[in-house]
Amino acid sequence: MSTAGEQGGLGKYIVVYLCMLAITGIEVAVAGSNPGGAHLLPIMLILAFAGALLGVLFFMGLAAEKRSLILFVAVFTLFVLATINYGWTDSFRVLMGAPYAK
């Protein structure tokens, strides 16, 4: 038996799935309208972020967790994304070439 505070099962996932399909359709429509590069990047990033957020929250079950865990995952993910280039030992080779290659 489900309690009154518990939200119902399959319907929620179908709605989230349809929202993700709609986001994908919007991405295809935006890409097909051939906007300039300066306008395309932020629009696509926002749509990709929204789709990824829905997937993580509902299909990976993060929405049912405590708020502190969600905040930790968000901060940790942003930290990893911000520092990922500094951890690669080979990250500056693209800019400067192989400095000691002879």
Counted domains in the chain: 1
pLDDT in tens, 11-69: 888 998 999 999 999 999 998 887 777 888 888 989 999 998 888 888 888 878 888 98
- Rounded Cα distance, 48 and 79, in Å: 19
pLDDT value at residue 84: 80
Owning domain of residue 80: 10-87
* Range of 54-63, 66-75, 92-101 with top mean pLDDT: 66-75
* 3 belongs to a structural domain: no
Question: What Cα–Cα distance (Å) separates residue 39 from each residue in 15, 23, 44, 46, 67?
Answer: 29, 17, 9, 11, 34
Predicted TM-score (pTM) of this structure: 0.62
User: Can you give the length of the chain in residues?
Assistant: 102
- Residue 7 pLDDT more than 60? no
Pick from 1, 29, 98, 13: nearest CA to 63:
13
Residue 75 CB-density burial (10 A; 0-12 exposed, 13-18 middle, 19+ buried): exposed
* 77 belongs to a structural domain: yes
- Residue 97 pLDDT more than 70? no
